[in-house]
Structure 1
Amino acid sequence: MSEFDPHKLTVNLMTPATFAQPVEGRKYTLTHSDITGQLFLDIGYMYNMQVVNPQMRDEVLAEWKKDVNGHLTLAGTAYVDGGEYSSSAAGIRFKIFMKEMDTAISGIVYGDRPFYARYPLLLDAPIFIHYMSNYPQYRQVLYYGTPRQYLSQINVVHR
């Protein structure tokens, strides 16, 4: 991943999900190819764990959840480590996730544009990413703005 290129995004809507349903519990599985730079987004009622590389664990998962006040938020996770890496290796993974997260979120938001057309209030919902790690310095929940901010930054050049 790197700078987001909409032409390198492939979206798979997993039935019975549609661009209208579900809302709460809507799940995103974002994976990529290091070789081609292609992004792959699966949208559904469940995560598509069949596309996740169990050795790499470099996917970004996200879902629409209600917060403590009942408002929907886009809550994502990035798997830094579960104790299988040294602190320095986990640190490298954490830095890579941090560097690439804007691209990943852009892919998730851009790939589900018809959903936002039906639910425009969600354009201003907060996005939080939970970095999962056994090391406290990498175990963090960070705020990443709103879907509207990501859509406004994407320039589509028609080819």
Structure 2
Amino acid sequence: MSFSPTRSYVQYRPDIQHFTPFWERKYVLTHSDQTGDLFLTISKTYALDQVNEMRDEVLGKWMVHQDGIPFIGEVLVGNEDIDYSVQNIRYNIFKKEMPTALQGIFYGERWLLEMNPFLTQSPIYILFKSNHPEFRGYQSFGYVRDYLRLS
């Protein structure tokens, strides 16, 4: 799936304003398998009511760290209740579709990035959560600037 701004929708929860500091923002990105639409919810807490039974969402946040401000995300590949072969499929889909998901998040927060251009230099790390070690751990996905669309 490729990213399309016309198929991307953003919802700010009442606790978030445009001027809310980046370190207070939490992101939940979901999608529709039927339409390919992306849905980004931004709040001070993860909008877990947006999580569906497929558990194919991407959660994310900015971390203020002594070495910089990475964008940290996570996805659930699987647990004891999900068969190994299914986790293998989920892992590969998450890896393949992560660039589209990251484009959706950063497109939805383009105003924040315009007001805080230093965030475009932030590295991106995604935690793949699984009970199988081959599907578990942090992976680097480059930098925020790599996912910004040029208009």
Is TM > 0.5 for Structure 1 vs Structure 2?
yes
TM-score band (shorter)?
over 0.9
Match of 1:71 among 68, 75, 80: 68
1:5 — aligned with what? 4
Q: TM-score under structure 1 normalisation?
A: 0.90
Structure 1 gaps, min length 5: none
Q: Distance in 2 between matches of 1:70 and 1:23?
A: 17
- The CA deviation at 1:86 is 1.6
The SS at the match of 1:104 is helix
Tell me which stretches of 4 or more aligned residues in structure 1 moved more than 2 Å: none
- 1:15 maps to a residue whose letter is P
2:59 — aligned with what? 61
- 2:145 maps to a residue whose letter is R
The SS at the match of 2:111 is helix
The SS at the match of 1:24 is helix
Structure 2 gaps, min length 5: none
Question: Matches of residues 1-159 of structure 1 in structure 2 within 5 Å?
Answer: 2-53=1-52, 55-67=53-65, 69=66, 71-151=68-148, 154=149
State the percentage of identical aligned residues: 38
- 1:122 maps to a residue whose letter is L
Q: Distance in 1 between matches of 2:19 and 2:142?
A: 23
- The CA deviation at 1:72 is 1.3
Asked if the contact 1:25–1:65 (Cα under 8 Å) also holds between the matched residues in 2, the reply is no
Q: TM-score under structure 2 normalisation?
A: 0.95
Q: Distance in 2 between matches of 1:142 and 1:18?
A: 30
Q: Deviations over 1:69-115 (max 9, x none)?
A: 25211100010012111211110110111111000000001110000
